[in-house]
Amino acid sequence: MRALRHPNAGEIELTRVLHALSDPVRLDVVRQLDHEGEATCAALDCGRPKSSMSHHFRVLRDAGVVRTRSDGAAHMNVLRREELDRLFPGLLDAVLAAR
């Protein structure tokens, strides 16, 4: 598959991260990734079609919240935990801790 673009740490902006997290579907994805550690897009569908999920993953990727790597035909996604924690200490923890 084509290479997926990721911002490097220095390009990650707070407002974009907040916006990425402000959607219920994407927040659910982030919660699951935090719990599962790593997952394919298909595994995290929220009952939505592939094209919708692909869109949400792209928003998360573009914001720097998620890193995606190819694994055969699948895409494995992980939270960019360490980088986000370094850039915005406590932010992800606070968001994930919220009931």
Partner DNA sequence: TCGTAAGTTCGATAAGTATCGAACATTCGA
Partner DNA sequence: TCGAATGTTCGATACTTATCGAACTTACGA
User: Binding partner of residue 57 among a second copy, DNA, none, CB under 5 to 8 Å per kind?
Assistant: DNA
Q: Which listed range, 1-9, 45-53, 69-77, 83-91, lies at the site for a second copy (CB under 8 A)?
A: 83-91
Compute CA 21 distance to the chain's CA centroid, rounded to the nearest angstrom. Answer: 9
Kindly tell me which residue out of 18, 28, 36, 48 binds DNA, with binding defined by CB under 7 A: 48
For residue 27, the 8-state DSSP code is H
Q: Is 19 in the site for a second copy (CB under 8 A)?
A: yes
Alpha helices (H) along 1-99: 14-21, 24-36, 50-63, 81-87, 91-97
Stretch that binds a second copy, among 34-42, 46-54, 73-81, 89-97 (CB under 8 A): 89-97
Between 21 and 33, CB nearer to a second copy: 21
Chain centroid to CA 14: 14
